[in-house]
Amino acid sequence: GAVVSQHPSRVICKSGTSVKIECRSLDFQATTMFWYRQFPKQSLMLMATSNEGSKATYEQGVEKDKFLINHASLTLSTLTVTSAHPEDSSFYICSASWAYYLEAFFGQGTRLTVV
Amino acid sequence: AQTVTQSQPEMSVQEAETVTLSCTYDTSESDYYLFWYKQPPSRQMILVIRQEAYKQQNATENRFSVNFQKAAKSFSLKISDSQLGDAAMYFCAYEGANFGNEKLTFGTGTRLTIIP
């Protein structure tokens, strides 16, 4: 299957700072990328959908000014958590899909800890 | 909006035995896709099996098979000859087939334990 690489796998940042998470499709062009958040022992909750070259579509309740998503190319999407707070600590997962695939491919996830 | 329900938070099975995980969903769409994903302790999401709603035949992948009942909106996963490596969280997921609606809606998951 196709490979999606997410970086970093773990990050610790201080409260009030910003942190960027990258999601790359390594062997295909991802027309759409998705960002999920997963709290411990819970399911994946979709945060936003991004299409290359256009603004991301955020799910209800997700603060677009706090979670900035950029999908500047067909192989890279980034999620920036701005002015991070301890309650933003979570596991963030990206997935990428291409129009002709029936499935999305997931990155390895990023564990964010805000101290 | 679509919803996916997994009513079994935890399941356990003896190694080499068979276990069935339940999933129901609600949708007004006629065409869609259903998936079972596995999330081991590494937390990497791994696709186990998928089913296209327009196909009547149940999908099968080696030891994994589904029982897809479209009218009942039910999509259960059967794991045969359970192995220790099958221990993981299993998520049922729904995806709309219409262009622009490819996002996945996940159930709450079932934690599967394999008893040696």
pLDDT over 80 (residue A9): yes
Whose CA is closest to A7, among A104, A108, A113, A90?
A108
pLDDT tens by residue, A37-57: 999 889 999 999 998 888 899
pLDDT tens figures, B44-58: 999 999 999 999 899
CB contacts of B105 in chain A (<8 Å) are 46
- pLDDT for B99 equals 65
Question: Coil, helix or strand for A88?
Answer: helix
Give the whole-angstrom CA distance, residue A86 versus residue B49: 36
pLDDT of residue A100: 65
Q: Return the residue in B45, B50, B61, B94 with the most chain A beta carbons within 10 A, the one to mutate for interface testing.
A: B45
Nearest to A102 among B43, B50, B108 (CB): B50
Q: What is the pLDDT of residues B57-80, one digit of tens each?
A: 999 999 999 999 999 999 999 999
Nearest CB among B35, B43, B108 relative to A43 is that of: B108
Q: Could you tell me how many residues make up chain B?
A: 116
Rounded to whole angstroms, what are the CA distances from A7 to A49, A112, B84? 18, 11, 29
Alpha-carbon distance B71 to nearest alpha carbon in chain A (angstroms): 22
Q: Percent of chain A beyond pLDDT 90?
A: 73
Chain A interface residues (partner B, CB cutoff 8 A): 1, 32, 34, 38, 42-46, 49, 91, 93, 95, 97, 99, 102-104, 106, 108-109
Spell out the alpha helix ranges (H) of chain A.
none
Identity (one letter) of the amino acid at A90? S
**What is the distance between the alpha carbons of residues A74 and A31, in angstroms, rounded to a whole number?**
6
**Inter-chain touch B44–A106, beta carbons under 8 Å:** yes
CA dist B81 and A71 (Å) reads 43
How many residues are there in chain A?
115
3-class secondary structure, A86: helix
Mind spelling out the 3-state secondary structure of chain B? CCEEECCCCEEEEECCCCEEECCEEECCCCCEEEEEEEECCCCCCEEEEEEECCCCCCCEECCEEEEEECCCCEEEEEECCCCHHHCEEEEEEEEECCCCCCCEEECCCEEEEEEC
